[in-house]
Amino acid sequence: MTNPALSPLFETLAIRQWSLKNRVVMPPMVTVRNIVGEDGIAWYSEHAEGGPGLVIIEATATPRFGQDLTVETLTPLVEAIHAKGALAAIQLFPVIISRDAELDLNELSLADIQTIVADYRRAARICQAAGMDGVQPHGAHGFLLNRFFSPAHNRRSDEYGGSLDNRMRLGLEIVRAIVDEVGSELMMLYRHTPVQADSYGLEESLAFARELVAAGVDVLDLSPSSKEAPGDLAAPFMQLGAKVITVGNLDKPERAEEALRESRADLVAIGRGLIADPNWANKLAENNADSITKCVRCDVMCFGNLRQRIPIACTQW
Kindly state whether residue 213 falls inside one of the protein's structural domains.
Answer: yes
Rounded-to-integer distance, Cα 226 and Cα 229, Å: 6
Kindly state whether residue 316 falls inside one of the protein's structural domains.
Answer: no
Kindly state whether residue 165 falls inside one of the protein's structural domains.
Answer: yes
Sequence-distant (6+) residues with CB within 8 A of 22 are 9, 10, 11, 12, 13, 51, 52, 53, 281, 285
Kindly state whether residue 315 falls inside one of the protein's structural domains.
Answer: no
Kindly state whether residue 313 falls inside one of the protein's structural domains.
Answer: no
Kindly state whether residue 160 falls inside one of the protein's structural domains.
Answer: yes
Structural domain for 156, as ranges: 4-308
pLDDT beneath 50, residues of the chain: none
Number of domains in the chain: 1
Say which CATH number the domain at 219 has.
3.20.20.70
- In this prediction the pTM is 0.96
Kindly state whether residue 317 falls inside one of the protein's structural domains.
Answer: no
Q: Are 215 and 208 in contact (CB under 8 A)?
A: no
Kindly state whether residue 111 falls inside one of the protein's structural domains.
Answer: yes
Give the distance between the most distant pair of CA atoms in the chain.
56
pLDDT of residue 4: 79
Q: pLDDT (tens digit, 9 = 90+) per residue, 105-135?
A: 999 999 999 999 999 999 999 999 999 999 9
pLDDT of residue 102: 63
Q: pLDDT (tens digit, 9 = 90+) per residue, 224-239?
A: 999 899 999 999 999 9
Rounded-to-integer distance, Cα 120 and Cα 28, Å: 17
Q: How far from the centroid of its chain's Cα atoms is residue 147's Cα?
A: 17
